């Protein structure tokens, strides 16, 4: 199984050249074995799954209940929605978008935790 | 990326972030947080945690993606967009223009038709007062509805004091404006028709395309307050014949303090500026454009463009869940406003035989608003509900549930639970309800006069 580190390292280097952090389209996933080169290299199945897992892992780190649930839900729904994509360029762009979203999420986890209120949300306190 | 351990060290090093005097403003009205007991005590109310938020019409939380877009402009890219001579100004200006196109794309406009303001209230002021003052020699009449937002009604009252005439159209019991009455009310001297797209209190969606068509036929500019509609229902200024539109940032998961005004260029609609100054925003609104806020609004609009369908479906499902959950366990629940022509994220319910203030006092773990809260500090029932013809006692018990992008099913279920419990508790104690259960018609009672 190909280590997923390689894909993420490439993406990290590419992030440095991005100028304005405008938000990106909804997260997406795809299944592709095509090796067609576009601006971002075509992702493998392993890379896609790694992105999916990273997004879910990042979601759990948010200190805010609503944001945490949203990131988790949106990731799952977004990947499910784009599961059937077959056109290589759209797959590659969707993957790039997903990676950018991951970077945004990682930064925001830090920001939210710096200012987390001491009292928890009512939804997190008692059950039912 | 900082690990969790480093973060906890950081947090301990900055106890509650109150060391700097600049943090004083944020420390001021905080609730007394008794960390030992985990209870918040504020305004005489004790709750165990931060309430779940169901008041999306009042304001919305800032989307993390929006915050991410804004932060660089508070940190290193802090330039004034009107500085022409250095990188700080250039990059700031580029960001403002990018945000402008993002906002324009959401409503189907040209970026040159979007002007940034401090919010929908300012945009409404510019629209109503600005248009009428510009055409004051020829046009002296404004047509609007009784359910408009306070800023539109207040601007109209201001115009009335200056000698203009204003027609306040009534609405039906479903909250919709009667198109025939609207067409009949427009005269040769009418300078503006102002009808809001989605009402903030009852969530009713007005028939914008038909109104736009009527206004186009009669050659009158059509202004709509789309603060609650932006990013939630599809808006196309061409299809809807909109001449002016007020947009708000903090209703679409953007920052507070920013809004926009759409001003049609073909045919050109002229306004008299309300803010005099250096001629920024093409003279329409002078004052430094707040880059971080504007970038935030642009980001929020771009996200809304992409997420509108997904959010719309989800929010509609959540509204169903809320309504069915409450209706299956309570009777005497009335929806205020049309059920078909409604934005699903706004549910305004009245509970019969229950007193409004006590209902709200018992719902402290859910952040909701009542029908009268956003209009005035007094206990007067909301003018919107009165315009619908809702009885005073029902108007007092109205609760507005606002569902949004970040609302979860669990929150809806908890809100149903708390609402039903509180209503049942109050009805148990109510002698009026006892009489109703015995079959007595309350309206037929002759109350003894002492």
Whether residue B321 sits in one domain with residue B282: no
pTM, to two decimals:
0.85
Point out which residues pair with B244 in neighbouring strands.
B223, B263
The CB density around residue B287, as the number of other CB atoms within 10 Å, is: 15
What's the CATH number where B359 sits? 3.90.1150.10
Q: Enumerate residues 6+ apart whose C-beta is below 8 A from B409.
A: B318, B321
| Cα B340 off chain centre by | 20
Residuewise pLDDT in 10s, chain A (128 residues):
444 444 444 444 444 443 344 444 444 444 444 444 444 567 889 999 999 999 999 999 999 999 999 999 999 999 999 988 888 899 999 999 999 999 999 999 999 999 999 999 999 886 54
Q: What is the pLDDT of residue B36?
A: 53
Q: Are residues B271 and B320 both part of a single domain?
A: no
In a domain, residue B30? The reply is: no
Residue A41 has a pLDDT of 65
The per-residue pLDDT for B443 is 77
Q: Is B40 domain-assigned?
A: no
- Residue B342 and residue B90: Cα distance in Å, rounded? 43
* Cα distance between residue B382 and residue B148, in whole Å: 12
If DSSP codes are grouped into helix, strand and coil, which group holds residue B9? helix
pLDDT of B378: 62
- Of B260, B288, B303, the one marking the end of a domain is B303
Give the per-residue pLDDT at B44.
81
Burial of B227 (0-12, 13-18, 19+ CB in 10 A): buried
CB distance A82 to A101 below 8 Å? no
The Cα–Cα gap between B336 and B323 comes to 13
Question: Is there a domain that residue B56 lies in?
Answer: no
Using alpha carbons, select from B252, B264, B268, B290 the residue that is nearest to residue B62. Answer: B252
Which residue of chain A has the CA closest to B2?
A110
- Whether A72 and chain B come into contact, CB under 8 Å, resolves to no
Q: Does B34 reside within a domain?
A: no
| Residue B282: cis peptide before it, omega within 30 degrees of 0 | no
Instruction: Outline where B36-86 has alpha helix (H).
Output: 64-70, 72-75
d(CA B260, CA B262): 7
Q: Which of A15, A54, A63, A66 to mutate to test the interface with B (most CBs of B within 10 A)?
A: A66
Quote the minimal CA–CA distance from A26 to chain B in Å. 7
Tell me, yes or no, whether B332 and B285 share the same domain: no
CB burial of B115-127 (b: ≥16 within 10 Å; e: otherwise) equals bbbbbbbbbbbbb
What's the CA gap between B114 and B247, in Å, rounded?
10
pLDDT of residue A35: 42
Q: Are residues B207 and B265 both part of a single domain? A: yes
Question: How far is Cα B391 from Cα B210, in angstroms, rounded to an integer?
Answer: 30
Domain that holds residue B285: 64-303
Same domain for B324 and B296, yes or no, is no
CATH (domain of B176): 3.40.640.10
- Are B229 and B101 contained in the same domain? yes
Is residue B197 included in any domain, yes or no? yes
**Is B356 found in the same domain as B259?**
no
Residues of B in contact with A22 (CB under 8 A): 69, 98, 102, 298-299, 302
Q: Are residues B212 and B153 in the same domain?
A: yes
pLDDT at B395: 87
pLDDT in tens, B387-417: 999 988 888 888 999 999 999 999 999 999 9
Give the pLDDT confidence of B327-363 residue by residue, as tens digits. Answer: 999 999 999 999 999 999 999 999 998 988 888 888 9
Of B303, B322, B355, the one marking the end of a domain is B303
Say if residue B190 is in the same domain as residue B83: yes
Confidence (pLDDT) at B444: 79
Identify the domain boundary among B303, B322, B354: B303
Q: Is residue B1 part of a domain?
A: no
Catalytic residue numbers of B read 374
Given an 8 Å threshold on Cβ–Cβ distance, is A21 in contact with B407? Answer: no
Reported ipTM: the value is 0.87
Residues B274 and B392 in one domain: no
Look at residue B45 and tell me if it is in a domain.
no
Which pLDDT score is estimated for A34? 41
Judge whether B53 lies within some domain.
Answer: no
**DSSP secondary structure code for residue B400 in this structure:** E
- At A30 the pLDDT is 45
Min CA distance, B301 vs chain A (Å)? Answer: 10
Let me know whether B287 and B338 are in one domain.
no
Q: How many domains does chain B have?
A: 2
d(CA B80, CA A120): 38
Which residues of chain A neighbour B302 with C-beta distances below 8 Å?
22-23
Strands B141-145 and B190-194: parallel
Residues of chain B falling short of pLDDT 70:
1-38, 371-379, 450
- State the virtual CA torsion across B420, B422, B426, B427 in degrees, nearest 10: 10
At residue A24's C-alpha, the angle toward residues B257 and B285, to 5°, is 30
- Looking at the fold, whether B280 and B417 belong to one and the same domain comes out as no
Cβ contact B371:B385 at 8 Å: yes
Give the chain A residue nearest B410 (alpha carbons): A123
Q: Do B68 and A121 touch (CB under 8 A)?
A: no
What pLDDT does A27 receive?
46
Q: Which long-range contacts (CB under 8 A, 24 or more apart) does B276-283 make?
A: B278/B82, B280/B82, B281/B115, B281/B116, B282/B115
Q: Closest Cα partner for B95 from B77, B68, B109, B108?
A: B77
């Amino acid at each position: 199984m190909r280590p997923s580190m390689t894909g993420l390292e490439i993406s990290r280097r590419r992030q440095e050249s991005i100028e304005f952090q405008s938000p990106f389209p909804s997260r997406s996933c795809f299944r592709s074995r095509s090796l067609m080169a576009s601006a971002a290299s075509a992702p493998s199945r392993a890379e896609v799954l790694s992105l999916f897992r990273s997004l879910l892992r990042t979601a759990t780190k948010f200190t805010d209940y609503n944001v945490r649930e949203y990131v988790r839900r949106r990731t799952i729904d977004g990947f499910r929605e784009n599961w059937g994509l077959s056109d290589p360029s759209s797959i590659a762009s969707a993957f790039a978008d997903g990676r950018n979203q991951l970077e945004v999420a990682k930064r925001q986890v830090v920001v939210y935790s710096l200012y987390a209120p001491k009292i928890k949300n009512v939804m997190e306190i008692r059950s039912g | 990326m900082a690990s969790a351990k480093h973060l906890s060290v950081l947090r301990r090093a900055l106890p509650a972030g109150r060391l700097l005097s600049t943090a004083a403003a944020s420390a001021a009205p905080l609730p007394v947080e008794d960390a030992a007991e985990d209870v918040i005590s504020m305004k005489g109310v004790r709750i165990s945690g931060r309430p779940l938020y169901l008041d999306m019409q009042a304001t919305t939380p800032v989307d993390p993606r929006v915050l991410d877009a804004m932060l660089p402009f508070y940190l290193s890219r802090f330039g004034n967009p009107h500085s022409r001579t250095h990188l700080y100004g250039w990059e700031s200006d580029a960001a403002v223009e990018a945000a402008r196109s993002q906002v324009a794309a959401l409503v189907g406009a040209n970026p040159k038709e979007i002007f940034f303001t401090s919010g929908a209230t300012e945009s409404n002021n510019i629209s109503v007062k600005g248009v009428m003052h510009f055409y004051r020699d020829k046009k002296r009449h404004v047509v609007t509805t009784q359910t408009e937002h306070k800023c539109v009604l207040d601007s109209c009252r201001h115009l009335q004091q200056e000698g203009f005439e204003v027609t306040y159209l009534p609405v039906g019991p479903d909250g919709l404006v009667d198109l025939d009455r609207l067409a009949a009310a427009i005269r040769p001297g009418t300078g503006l028709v102002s009808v809001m797209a989605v009402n903030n209190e009852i969530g009713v969606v007005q028939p914008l395309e038909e109104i736009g068509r009527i206004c186009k036929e009669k050659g009158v500019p059509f202004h709509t307050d789309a603060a609650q509609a932006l990013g939630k229902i599809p808006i196309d200024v061409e299809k809807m014949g909109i001449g002016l539109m007020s947009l708000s940032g903090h209703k679409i998961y953007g920052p507070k303090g920013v809004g926009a005004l759409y001003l049609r260029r073909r045919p050109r609609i002229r306004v008299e500026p309300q803010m005099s100054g250096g001629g920024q925003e093409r003279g329409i609104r002078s004052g430094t454009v707040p880059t971080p806020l504007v970038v935030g609004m642009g980001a929020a609009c771009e996200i809304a463009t992409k997420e509108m369908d997904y959010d719309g479906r989800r929010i509609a499902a959540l509204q169903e869940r809320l309504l069915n959950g409450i209706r299956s366990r309570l009777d005497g629940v009335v929806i205020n406003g049309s059920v078909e022509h409604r934005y699903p994220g706004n549910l305004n319910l009245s509970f019969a035989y229950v007193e409004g203030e006590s209902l709200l006092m018992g719902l402290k773990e859910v952040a909701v608003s009542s029908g009268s809260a956003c209009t005035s500090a007094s206990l007067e029932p909301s003018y919107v509900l009165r315009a619908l013809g809702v009885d005073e006692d029902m108007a007092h018990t109205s609760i507005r549930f606002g569902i949004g992008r970040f609302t979860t099913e669990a929150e809806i279920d908890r809100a149903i639970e708390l609402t039903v419990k509180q209503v049942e508790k109050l009805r148990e104690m109510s002698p009026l309800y006892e009489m109703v259960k015995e079959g007595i018609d309350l309206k037929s009672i002759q109350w003894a006069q002492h």
